[in-house]
């Protein structure tokens, strides 16, 4: 391996043919895509694209509504691309037609500003115009790649020309860089799809200008610079700590990494590496969730991983996956692919209900219902919502899931010369090009056995040895084991998938003395419904044999092991001298992703273990 770029294998070349993720893709296609479409229709988000809202009508378009629709559109295109359906195609076409019809002569489109604030176009840094534009570009790239039809992407090209005119040439806008980053990474996708350098240049323009004119230095700059909140506190190459709004941050870092890879900018790459380490070594929940605080939906100080009040927005985890994927292109290092796996099997899966219809915006890392006093209580703590919702007013997360799941093939493979990297283990067929096919046969994460077969020629294989697997027999370089694969000869690897206990470093005070339980990449949690109240008092016997089963209500895997809990009979005693009176109990764990699917319940991820 070298530090040369890995070539991405696009999900269009990948078919997930069975197993764990096929089920999730089917659920997304059959249920989620439509559920989100219906909710967005009901809340007027599609109608808003007509840009004919007037005072007094219902469903006043919000500044970020376009992005919700654009993300749904992108996901719908991916879904249709892998499983064509006329019905879905009609929805896609209608959405695109409406967009194109309502673009202004300059190419501008924003259903909020066109109906409510014509005079404020590009005046308000925090009002998401460029963020929405970016999401339209991502949808347009998806559409162009899926269909070859260039009407939509050309429409976005005209929008970009207009943005260049205003932000780069005339400089008559109210702010210099986007308040909510996203367009930077979208422009790089436009560049990839078209080869037109203007997209790369505009992306670099925004990246290079960020943090250069903090408010204090720029008297003539009337508008808020948003500073740390929008990572506008320092030039991007000088940023060393993940700060501010977590989604904005990881979208920015994704663009930075992509730009570093495309331009060979080592300083930018180093900044990305530093930021990635800051997140994953100090600010990431074990589920792969990031952004600890509801205040500013933000990163906070290192090791502030207070499970009970974690904000951990779904979009931030998805953004972390994007960031890791870009980093992986620059360096075949399993630190990146491990994070993708961690987030996919835990935070991302958890965000959606098992029926595919409702979603977390904030993903709980622990739930103690009897402490929750969300409305009107005197708790100084803002307790997160315990259950997923079908509808949100701020609905960025559901369509982010809609676009992630059908494109999961994006994360499985890449190539570098004649080496084929396998990052994620999903049952799949991959077209490597030049008549070569790769077959991945696995029941992962049910077990750790993976059989990889290349057909149509020999190749080198680089298989990720998952970070959770500490007892494997493979020689690794940066987490990958390198093997020679002969045409048609299956290669089987096996990663022992026993129940493992993970601990966090001592600075992460909320987890001290506690362990998370993982089997393969899947975190397991306990709910009171299965185990009785006061889960934190349970102490798992680490040497017990866990029995695997299927949960009768939830249909998900279970692990049943041995634990103890204190005998504490006197109802009137708050404090007593330490007693050794403990009773033995069974503890039944379910995958974290299955939590809170039976109504509000106590839920724990970090256990006492003996």
Site residues, its own copies (CB under 8 A): 228, 243-244, 277, 280-282, 284, 286, 292-296, 298-304, 306, 309, 311, 368, 370-371, 373, 377-382, 468, 470, 500-509, 512-516, 533-534, 536-537, 539, 542, 565-566, 568, 572-579, 608-609
Residue 436 or 565: the one with the smaller Cβ distance to its own copies is 565
Compute how many other C-beta atoms are within 10 angstroms of the C-beta atom of residue 607: 24
Which distant-in-sequence residues (6+ apart) come within 8 Å of 237 by Cβ? 267, 268, 271
How many angstroms separate the CA atoms of 395 and 291, rounded? 17
Which distant-in-sequence residues (6+ apart) come within 8 Å of 72 by Cβ? 33, 36, 37, 40, 399, 402, 403
How many angstroms separate the CA atoms of 324 and 257, rounded? 9
How many angstroms separate the CA atoms of 259 and 56, rounded? 45
Compute how many other C-beta atoms are within 10 angstroms of the C-beta atom of residue 486: 12
Residue 165 or 537: the one with the smaller Cβ distance to its own copies is 537
Residue 451 or 567: the one with the smaller Cβ distance to its own copies is 567
How many angstroms separate the CA atoms of 517 and 468, rounded? 11
Which ranges constitute the DSSP H helices of 47-123?
Answer: 65-82, 86-102, 111-116
DSSP 227-248: GGGGT-SS-GGG--S--SBHHH
What is the nearest approach in angstroms of its own copies to the Cβ of residue 68?
Answer: 25
- Kind of pairing, strands 459-464 and 419-422? parallel
How many angstroms separate the CA atoms of 39 and 359, rounded? 12
374 phi, psi to nearest 5 deg: -65, -40
566 phi, psi to nearest 5 deg: -70, 145
Residue 25 or 347: the one with the smaller Cβ distance to its own copies is 347
333 phi, psi to nearest 5 deg: -130, 125
Residue 377 or 417: the one with the smaller Cβ distance to its own copies is 377
Residue 119 or 577: the one with the smaller Cβ distance to its own copies is 577
Residue 309 or 554: the one with the smaller Cβ distance to its own copies is 309
Residue 96 or 605: the one with the smaller Cβ distance to its own copies is 605
Residue 602 three-state SS? coil
Unique residue bearing structure tokens 């506690």? 514
Among 288, 409, 444, which Cα is nearest to 351's? 288
Residue 77 or 604: the one with the smaller Cβ distance to its own copies is 604
Residue 152 or 306: the one with the smaller Cβ distance to its own copies is 306
What is the nearest approach in angstroms of its own copies to the Cβ of residue 328?
Answer: 18
What is the nearest approach in angstroms of its own copies to the Cβ of residue 401?
Answer: 24
How many angstroms separate the CA atoms of 416 and 125, rounded? 40
């Amino acid at each position: 391996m070298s530090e040369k770029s890995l070539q991405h294998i696009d999900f269009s070349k990948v078919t997930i043919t069975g197993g764990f993720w096929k089920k999730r893709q089917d659920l997304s296609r059959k249920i989620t895509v439509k559920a989100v479409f219906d909710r967005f229709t009901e809340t007027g988000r599609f109608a808003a694209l007509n840009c004919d809202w007037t005072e007094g009508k219902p469903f006043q378009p919000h500044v970020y509504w376009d992005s919700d629709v654009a993300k749904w559109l992108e996901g719908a295109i991916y879904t249709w691309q892998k499983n064509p359906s006329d019905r879905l195609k009609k929805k896609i076409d209608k959405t695109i037609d409406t967009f194109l019809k309502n673009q202004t002569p300059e190419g501008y489109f924003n259903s909020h500003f066109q109906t409510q604030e014509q005079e404020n176009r590009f005046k308000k840094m925090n009002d998401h115009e460029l963020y929405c534009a970016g999401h339209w570009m991502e949808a347009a790239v998806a559409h162009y790649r899926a269909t070859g039809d260039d009407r939509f992407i050309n429409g976005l090209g005209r929008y970009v020309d207009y943005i260049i005119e205003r932000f780069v040439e005339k400089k008559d806008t109210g702010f210099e860089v986007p308040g909510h980053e996203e367009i930077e990474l979208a422009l790089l996708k436009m560049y990839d799809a078209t080869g037109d350098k203007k997209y790369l240049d505009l992306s670099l323009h925004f990246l290079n200008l960020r943090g250069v004119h903090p408010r204090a230095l720029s008297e003539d700059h009337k508008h808020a610079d948003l500073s740390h909140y929008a990572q506008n506190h320092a030039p991007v190459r000088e940023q060393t700590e993940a700060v501010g709004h977590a989604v904005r941050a990881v979208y920015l870092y994704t663009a930075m990494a992509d730009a570093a890879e495309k331009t060979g900018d080592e300083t930018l790459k180093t900044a990305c590496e530093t930021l990635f380490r800051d997140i994953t070594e100090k600010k990431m929940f074990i589920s792969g969730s990031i952004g600890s605080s509801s205040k500013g939906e933000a990163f906070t100080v290192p090791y502030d991983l207070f499970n009970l009040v974690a904000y951990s927005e779904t979009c931030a985890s998805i953004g972390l996956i994007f960031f890791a994927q870009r980093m992986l292109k620059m360096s075949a290092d399993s630190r990146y692919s491990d994070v993708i796996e961690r987030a996919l099997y835990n935070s991302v899966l958890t965000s959606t209900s098992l029926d595919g219809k409702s979603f977390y915006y904030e993903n709980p890392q622990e739930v103690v219902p009897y402490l929750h006093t969300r409305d009107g209580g005197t708790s100084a703590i803002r307790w997160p919502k315990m259950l997923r919702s079908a509808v949100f007013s701020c609905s960025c997360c559901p369509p982010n899931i809609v676009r992630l799941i059908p494109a999961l093939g994006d994360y499985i493979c890449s190539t570098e010369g004649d080496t084929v990297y396998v990052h994620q283990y999903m049952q799949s067929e991959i077209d490597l090009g030049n008549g070569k096919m790769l077959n991945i046969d696995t029941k992962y994460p049910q077990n750790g056995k993976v059989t990889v077969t290349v057909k149509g020629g020999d190749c080198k294989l680089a298989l990720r040895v998952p970070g959770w697997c500490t007892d494997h027999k493979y020689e690794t370089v940066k987490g990958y084991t390198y093997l020679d694969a002969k045409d048609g000869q299956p290669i089987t690897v096996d990663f022992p998938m026993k129940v493992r206990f993970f601990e966090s470093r001592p600075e992460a005070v909320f987890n001290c003395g506690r362990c998370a339980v993982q089997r393969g990449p899947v975190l397991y949690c306990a709910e009171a419904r299965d185990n009785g109240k006061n889960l934190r008092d349970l102490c798992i016997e680490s040497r017990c044999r866990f029995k695997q089963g299927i949960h009768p209500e939830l249909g998900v895997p279970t692990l049943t092991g041995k634990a103890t809990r204190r005998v504490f009979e006197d109802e009137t005693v708050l404090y007593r001298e330490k007693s050794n009176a403990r009773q033995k109990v069974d503890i039944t764990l379910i995958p974290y992703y299955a939590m809170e699917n039976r109504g509000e319940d106590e839920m724990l991820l970090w256990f006492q273990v003996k």
